[in-house]
Amino acid sequence: MTKKPSNPQTETSLTTTTKQYDLFTTFFGNPNNLSNTIELWDAIPKYAVNERAQSQVRDEKGNLPVSTQEFLYRPTVRGLPKEITCKLTIQPASIKNSDGTYTQYYPSNDEELLEEVLKKFFTDQNFGQHRANGSESWVRFTLGMVQQELKRRGKSRSLDEIKHSLEILSKAVLTVEFDSQQQLGVAKRLVYTNPILSEVTGVTRLHYLQDPKAMWLAKLPSLISKSVNELSYRQFNYGTLMSLSSQLARWFHKRLSHQYTQASITDPYHIKYSSIRRDSGLLRHSRQSVHVKQIDAALNELTDKSVLLSFKKDVRKRGNAITEIVYSMLPTSTFQEEIKTANARQSAHNVELGISRRHPSLISKLQGSFGTSRSEETS
pLDDT, averaged in runs of 10, over the chain (379 residues): 41 65 97 97 98 96 97 86 93 97 98 99 97 89 96 97 98 92 60 95 75 86 95 98 99 98 97 98 96 99 99 96 97 98 96 64 51 40
Q: What pLDDT is attached to residue 220?
A: 98
Torsion of CA 349, 351, 357, 360, to 10 degrees: -50
Q: What pLDDT is attached to residue 358?
A: 43
For residue 65, how many C-alpha atoms fall within 13 Å in the half-sphere facing its CB? 6
- What single-letter DSSP state applies at residue 66? P
Distance CA 131, CA 220 (A): 12
Residue ranges, CATH 1.10.10.10, the chain: 237-354
Q: Answer whether 0.85 is exceeded by the pTM.
A: yes
Distance CA 48, CA 268 (A): 27
Tell me whether strands 321-331 and 173-178 are parallel, antiparallel or unpaired: unpaired
Q: What pLDDT is attached to residue 204?
A: 74
Distance CA 83, CA 101 (A): 43
Distance CA 357, CA 76 (A): 14
Report yes or no: 288 and 278 within 8 Å, Cβ to Cβ: no
Fold of 237-354: Arc Repressor Mutant, subunit A (1.10.10)
Distance CA 145, CA 161 (A): 14
